[in-house]
Amino acid sequence: MLSDPTAYTLVAPNAGYRLDMSTRELRTNLQSQNDEVKIETLRAIIVSTINGEPHASLLMPIIQYVLPSKNKQLKKMLHFYWEVCPKLDGEGKLKQEMILVCNAIRNDLQHPNEYIRGSTLRFLQKIKEQEILEPLVPSVRQCLDHRHSYVRKNAVMAIWTIYERHEHLISDAPELIESFLAAESDATCKRNALTMLVHTDTPRAVEYVSSVMNQVPVMDELMQMAVIELIRTDAKKGSERMTDYIQILSELLTTSSHAVKFEAAITLAGLAHNVPAVKAIASALIDLSVQESDNNVKLIVLDRLDALRLRHEHVLDPLVIDLLRVLSSPDIDVRKKVLEMALDMLSVRTVEEVVLVLRKELAKTTQAQDASTPYRHLLIKSLHACAVRFSEVAGDVMLELMNFLSDSGSTSAVDVIAFVREVVERFPDMRDDILGKLIQSFPEFRNGKVYRGAMWIVGDYATSISNVNDAMQQIRKVLGEIPILASEKQQMDQSETAGAMTDDNVASAPKPVSMTRVRADGTYATESAFTTDTTTDKSSLSRSKPPLRSLILFGDYYTASVLSATLVKLVLRFMNVSSDEGAKNMLRAEAMLIMTSILRVAQSKYVTAQIDEDSKERIVTCLQILGSATQSFEEAEAAAQVFLDESRRAYASMLTHERQRVSKSNETQNRAPIQQPHQQLLFRQLGGPETLDDDIDYETDLNRATGMGTVSKDDFISKLQRVVQLTGFSDPVYAEAYVDVHQFDILLDVLVVNQTDETFQNLSIELATLGDLKLVERPSSYTIAPYSFQSIKATIKVSSTETGVIFGNIVYEKASVGSGSSKDSSYVVLNEIHIDIMDYISPSYVSETEFRSMWTGFEWENKVNVKTDISDVRQYLEHIMKATNMACLTPEASLAGECGFLSANLSATSLFGEDALANVSIERLDNGTIQGHVRIRSKTQGIALSLGDKLSMGTR
């Protein structure tokens, strides 16, 4: 592709070198005998010319004193100068001095040094003036026959640019390059020649490729890329050689070059749609993902493969095992993408093999402890998805996953117990086996969340006498000796007595500790105290205690309350299925003894913290249900229904709504476009370029990525909504800006209007930013005539989701009437431009476990009090979701119905991968107003504050 003709070479000044020298000083330095002085002087002239001060009077001194030099660096700097210097006079004709320059350039094109020739040919690609190029054409043509490939390849590019700009100067360029291509042996030269023919005379390029079609698989990588570019270009025009193109691309899928294989696969995907070709493309992309070492490339290839899978539904499903080979990559993002695709490609035929591979990967994570926890979480989640979708593997998968319930340092055990709960609810046939192993695994648990989940499962699904007896036996085992308080007191007394006899109280002797205190008057004082450390003894003793007992002694009373509820469920269920009155009374008494023991020890000195009121009230309620003999039959039945039926029914309802949400989300993502009746049909063969497949159109892909696509009517209307007024209508300079936000860049298109009858010189916009914004380049200076206007563009780089502010002013000078002098600079302060973070925020969905984990881990919180005129809590929630662009994670069933209060969780993700969470807690008062607050949490401060500001502004 040709470079943009307006893109000049950038020459940076050396640090400390003066750029404000006068014309006389520059002329004197040009006459110096020192080449280094000439180089720096020429550098200063180039920078000054780019900045709008061309120093036209220095053209002849440069020709006289610099042009004859043989210094290679100085000669290259001269090329930069010829590129930017004014070459035309006031009448638009070529300056007379440029004839001497043309002669010097022609001499360089005939220079015996091949690198000078090649550098000069590269320089000619940036020259647009016909008068300069015309006398140089014969020399450029001669360079095609040079012995050195460096000269020949640059000669091809020079001929291309001359032909593109002034076709009549080399009217036979396609024929010339075709002959050159047939005789050339260097790969780079052939690639340049073929690329030129592709863009200037496609039929000639097609004829050449047809003549060497059998040699394409063994060609150089550059030539293969050029052939693919030709195929892509010609295929858009509806070529008759489509069969040959498909054959060439199919052969290139097996090449060793990763770049060629990728381009061939993407191009072939737009040409061939039969099943064998699609599978071959997918296999090539999978091989690329396995062989490529760059994780970014892996993700790009996987995205292309995923798009191919969505287009050809179920065609790639047999390749799921090959796809799992990419799991060898250590990058967690790559593994996550692979597992997501593999789950979508699962079928009854492949699920057993997939589960086998995942189980092997899971076994590897137990052997390697370094950073394998997130990967283990992904594998467990994937195995759970397999078990839920395919019941034939659910049993083996769950029994395998339950081995991870003993993990204490990660979230794997918590995830597994949640998955076990779902499988037990969905597959009644597996309940007995899973319950049996779960009950036997009680002594291995180390996590309070795991115990709570396991006890809930046992309490709700242990329906037989044997299950209840086994559960009670394991609960006794993990609690230890009952009553807990008496046992702990006896054990502590024994340990203290043994310690006194062996150590003579040396270890427990008081230790002096000195510390600094601040007095009331602000002065410092040293204070000594004697302390006795008994924490170590308690900790060491607790390590040898049963696991559930240790959790209670360390203050996990939430688990204790769940244990009490589980005991009530087990007793009530045992009373329903057993006819042995003695066994019923014995089980009830034992359950009440356990709960009473927990209450007593929770209020003693043997625990790390006293029991909270909520847990205490919960345990007391459970005691009253089992111990109250004064309950009526109706009250007993109501209590039994709440404990035995309601919680299980609520969980089943939650699973149903979650499945519906996921199904609805998948339908929305994978829904194919549907043609309505009487809707116009488009045929590619009869349509314009806009109906072609974008996969084979690299330029369209690039334009879409850079935001340079076709602007529709709706886009134009949205542009008008993004126009920001920067100055007032009464200011000498009126300015307004269109703010175009495109991923990581912000483009400011500023329209500047001169509203006076004076000419403004050196008008420029000086911009500055606040937040994580960075000005890429300073806008140029302009001269604006009276009542004229100028469009000035500036690019801002965005590095994070944070409310940014762009501010600045317009600086200009007024040209005095009748003179060439300038007055002092004038300034117009611009209004601030606030960047809307909603352009970078999108809704996201996470599980309840992930939400709780992130909520605990995020350190920045912004609490926003609710102030609104909205009177309906549900309507206010929808208003918040719209204002912050967040998704509601709370199930729809939980929000249904009329209620005076509402609590919901929200989630969103930024373009930079930053997660933002929110918790809404509101209620409607008797007077119809809503009060409450919204808590926003994130990993970084910026997004939390920005969302809070957006919420505050949106609710006013």
Does the pLDDT value for residue 375 go beyond 70?
yes
Q: Give 610's strand partners.
A: none
Asked if the model's pLDDT at residue 455 lies above 70, the reply is yes
What integer is the mean pLDDT of 755-775?
86
Tell how far CA 566 is from the center of its chain.
Answer: 43
The confidence score (pLDDT) of residue 949 equals 82
Looking at residues 86-115, what average pLDDT do you find?
87
Q: Residue 668 has what pLDDT?
A: 58
pLDDT digits (tens, 9 = 90+) for 905-940: 999 988 777 889 999 999 888 888 888 999 999 988
pLDDT: is 823 or 522 the higher one?
823
Which pLDDT score is estimated for 521? Answer: 43
What would the pLDDT profile of 58-89 be if each residue is shown by its tens digit? Answer: 889 888 888 888 888 888 888 888 888 888 88
- Model confidence at 5: pLDDT above 90: no
pLDDT reported for residue 547: 86
Phi then psi for residue 770, to 5 deg, are: -125, 145
Q: 182 or 671: which carries more pLDDT confidence?
A: 182
Pairing of the two strands 733-742 and 745-754? antiparallel
Question: Is residue 949 left, alpha or beta, with left meaning phi > 0 and alpha meaning psi from -120 to 50?
Answer: alpha
Q: pLDDT at position 677, please?
A: 65
Tell me the mean pLDDT in the region 312-337.
90
pLDDT tens for 773-789 read: 888 878 888 888 898 99
What is residue 538's predicted lDDT score, i.e. its pLDDT?
Answer: 45
Cα 307 to Cα 286: distance, rounded to the nearest angstrom:
13
Most confident residue range from 156-165, 682-691, 941-950 = 156-165
Least reliable range by pLDDT among 295-304, 365-374, 589-598: 365-374
Q: Tell me what the mean pLDDT of segment 270-275 comes to.
A: 86
Q: Select, from the ranges 27-31, 237-241, 750-754, 893-897, the one with the highest average predicted confidence (pLDDT).
A: 750-754
Per-residue confidence band for 750, with pLDDT thresholds at 50, 70 and 90 = very high
CATH superfamily name and code, 840-954: TATA-Binding Protein (3.30.310.10)
Per-residue pLDDT band for 190 (boundaries 50, 70, 90) equals very high
Whether 145 shows a pLDDT value over 70: the answer reads yes
pLDDT at 510 exceeding the cut of 60: no
On the question of a common fold for 726-816+824-835 and 840-954, the answer reads no
Confidence (pLDDT) at 707 = 47
Residue 769: C-alpha distances to residues 751, 798, 807 (Å) = 19, 11, 6
pLDDT band, very low/low/confident/very high, at 401 (cuts 50, 70, 90) = confident
Least confident of 49-63, 151-165, 361-375: 361-375
Q: What is the mean pLDDT of the chain?
A: 81
Per DSSP, 681 falls in state P
pLDDT of residue 177: 92
The least confident of 567-581, 726-740, 772-786 is: 772-786
Chosen CATH of 726-816+824-835 out of 3.40.50.300, 3.90.1150.10, 1.10.540.10, 2.60.40.1480: 2.60.40.1480
d(CA 149, CA 191): 12
Q: How confident is the model at residue 502 (pLDDT cuts 50, 70, 90)?
A: low
- The per-residue pLDDT for 890 is 85
Higher pLDDT, 492 or 569: 569
pLDDT band at 520 (very low <50, low <70, confident <90, very high): very low
User: Of the ranges 89-98, 481-490, 586-595, 630-639, which one carries the lowest mean pLDDT score?
Assistant: 630-639
pTM for this prediction: 0.74
pLDDT band at 121 (very low <50, low <70, confident <90, very high): very high
> Other C-beta atoms within 10 Å of 446: how many?
15
Q: What is the pLDDT of residue 89?
A: 81
Q: What integer pLDDT is reported at residue 283 of this predicted model?
A: 93
Q: Is the pLDDT reported for residue 954 higher than 50?
A: yes
Q: Which residue has the higher pLDDT, 68 or 506?
A: 68
Task: Report the pLDDT value the prediction gives residue 158, as an integer from 0 to 100.
Answer: 92
Domain boundaries, the chain: 462-493+542-643, 726-816+824-835, 840-954
In what helix (H) or strand (E) does residue 757 lie, and over which residues does it extend?
Answer: none
Tell me: pLDDT of 583 over 80: yes
Within a 10 A sphere around the Cβ of 43, how many other Cβ atoms?
Answer: 19
Q: How confident is the model at residue 816 (pLDDT cuts 50, 70, 90)?
A: low
Which among 318, 316, 357 has a CA at the least distance from the CA of 335? 357
State residue 509's pLDDT score.
45
Q: How much is the pLDDT for 604?
A: 85
**Least-confidence region, from 237-246, 271-280, 292-301, 309-318:** 237-246
- Tell me the residue type at 119: S
Q: Is 917 left (phi over 0), alpha (psi -120 to 50) or beta?
A: beta
* Burial 563-586, CB ≥16 within 10 A → b, else e: bbbbbbbbbbbbbeeeeeeeeeee
In single-letter form, the type of residue at position 592 comes to M
Which range is least confidently modeled, 243-252, 437-446, 525-534, 618-627? 525-534
Which pLDDT value is given to residue 55?
80
Is the preceding peptide bond at 428 cis, omega within 30 degrees of 0? no
Structure confidence at residue 504 (pLDDT): 52
Report the pLDDT value the prediction gives residue 800, as an integer from 0 to 100. 72
Distance CA 34, CA 65 (A): 11
Long-range contacts of 539-546 (CB under 8 A, 24+ apart): 541/491, 541/492, 541/495, 545/480, 546/443, 546/477, 546/478, 546/479, 546/480
CA atoms of 432 and 463, how far apart (whole Å): 10
3 pLDDT more than 50? no
670-684 pLDDT tens trace: 555 555 566 566 555
Quote the CA–CA distance of 439 and 418 in Å, as a whole number.
15
The residues, any chain, with a CB within 8 Å of residue 939's CB and separated by 6 or more, are 857, 858, 859, 860, 914, 915
